[in-house]
Amino acid sequence: MKKTLLLSLAALSSLMASGNLHKEVAVTAGYNKFDGASLMENAAFFGIRGTIYENEVNKYGLQVGYEGSSGVDYAQSGQTTSVHRFFTHLIADGEEEYNVVPYLLLGLGYEYLSDEIKGEPSQGFADAGIGFKYCIDEHFNLALETRAIGKLDTRDLDFNANLALGYMFGGERRDKFKPIVAFEKEKETTVPKSIVPKTTINVIHAPMVQPTPQIDEVTALVNEIDTNAKPIVTAQTSTNAVDATVVNSGDYYVQMAALASTPTQPLVQQLSDKGYLNTIVYPRDDANLVLVGPYSSHKEAQKAKAALKHIRRDAFIYRMQ
């Protein structure tokens, strides 16, 4: 049993280390109902599995895993055996709705019995199933799935139900559209210190067709800001439209992406084309957050997130600190 688990963990580690792709590792617990013609009694199964995905938008993945149970009883014989299953699945995720993602799986595997008896050999199997994954946040999820497992030698058909806790990690975000035009480096306009808070960020709105306001207009807008709200103001001049944006602590946004090396302009342009002109790019640490908002309440942001899922399925609510 220990050697089997070690080999499974080694295979999973190799899979997780492969390439710069999106990955998921999950632990599972479930119940296996053996075929009525089988000599084995129904038993609880525990396992671990790893999945690599093509990308983070269209989630087609390859999964390898292990599940097993020790001390499975043989009916009317008094004997027991340990059951070890190794499998590989092709995974296809459906569209997310209310943080729930349906998925299908299809695969092959091998079932090893530590103590075989006549009529119950170790053998290969094919399986297929359906599951539903609830996304707790951008990393963690809970999944409930059921599988039909067809034994290739005995022609037995088992049914397996699993509850899984998964963790998503790794990979780089890849936009499915080409960059339009790279933004030129912006030159920050000097505003009197008396009206500019100490913390300043660069905020870029999606390009809009409008006359370029003068710096005097920007200064007038800044003067109207309530300093008690601790706004963050940046005024910029360039060939693009000049704008002044107020970001208040406590505002709710829908975070579409956190991009380090990938240009933000394609995603901002796509959102603008869809009518989301309230898109900003918010620098934080080593990444640029692409945010849509602000919204005055979590409920409003939740409605906006549901509408934005068709653009990026991993969008989530971000509250400004």
CATH number of the domain encompassing residue 112: 2.40.160.20
* Residue 175 maps to a domain: no
Residues 221 and 310 in one domain: yes
Please give the pLDDT value at position 118: 85
**Residue finishing a domain among 134, 169, 204:** 169
Residues 28 and 122 in one domain: yes
Residues 109 and 165 in one domain: yes
Residues 51 and 115 in one domain: yes
* Residue 90 maps to a domain: yes
CB 33 within 8 A of CB 111: no
Domain encompassing residue 200 = 187-319
Residues 193 and 158 in one domain: no
* Residue 176 maps to a domain: no
Please give the pLDDT value at position 113: 95
Question: CA 130 → CA 92, 102, 164, 261, distances in Å?
Answer: 10, 7, 13, 36
* Residue 296 maps to a domain: yes
Please give the pLDDT value at position 296: 84
Residues 156 and 218 in one domain: no
Residues 271 and 159 in one domain: no
Please give the pLDDT value at position 173: 44
**Residue finishing a domain among 169, 201, 217:** 169
Residues 253 and 153 in one domain: no
What tens-digit pLDDT sequence spans the chain (321 residues)? 445 545 555 655 665 555 567 889 999 999 999 998 898 999 999 999 999 987 655 578 999 999 999 989 998 778 999 999 999 999 998 877 778 989 999 999 999 999 988 888 999 999 999 999 998 887 899 999 999 999 999 999 999 999 999 998 876 544 333 333 333 333 333 444 444 444 444 455 445 444 444 445 544 444 444 444 333 333 333 323 333 355 676 788 988 888 877 778 888 888 888 888 888 888 877 788 889 988 888 888 888 888 887 788 778 888 877
Please give the pLDDT value at position 14: 60
Residues 195 and 160 in one domain: no
The pair phi, psi for residue 276, each rounded to 5°, is -90, 85
Please give the pLDDT value at position 200: 43
Dihedral of the alpha carbons of 115, 29, 48, 116, in degrees to the nearest 10: 10
* Residue 39 maps to a domain: yes
* Residue 313 maps to a domain: yes
Please give the pLDDT value at position 227: 40
Q: What is the DSSP string of 43-99?
A: EEEEEEEEEEES-SSS-EEEEEEEEEEEEEEBTTT--EEEEEEEEEEEEEE---BTT
Residues 217 and 153 in one domain: no
* Residue 182 maps to a domain: no
Residues 209 and 93 in one domain: no
* Residue 178 maps to a domain: no
Tokens of 58: 């269209």
The number of distinct structural domains making up the chain is: 2
Q: Using alpha carbons only, give the angle 143, 148, 154 rounded to the nearest 5 degrees.
A: 145
Please give the pLDDT value at position 222: 42
Centroid of chain to Cα 277: 25
265 three-class SS? helix
- Judging by DSSP bridges, how do beta strands 22-33 and 43-53 pair with one another? antiparallel
Tokens of 255: 């975070």
Please give the pLDDT value at position 15: 55
CATH number at 287 reads: 3.30.70.1070
CB 109 within 8 A of CB 125: yes
Question: CA 12 → CA 2, 125, 200, 245, 249, distances in Å?
Answer: 15, 20, 45, 47, 42
E-state strands within 122-178:
123-135, 140-151, 157-169
Residues 273 and 240 in one domain: yes
Please give the pLDDT value at position 80: 93
Centroid of chain to Cα 167: 9
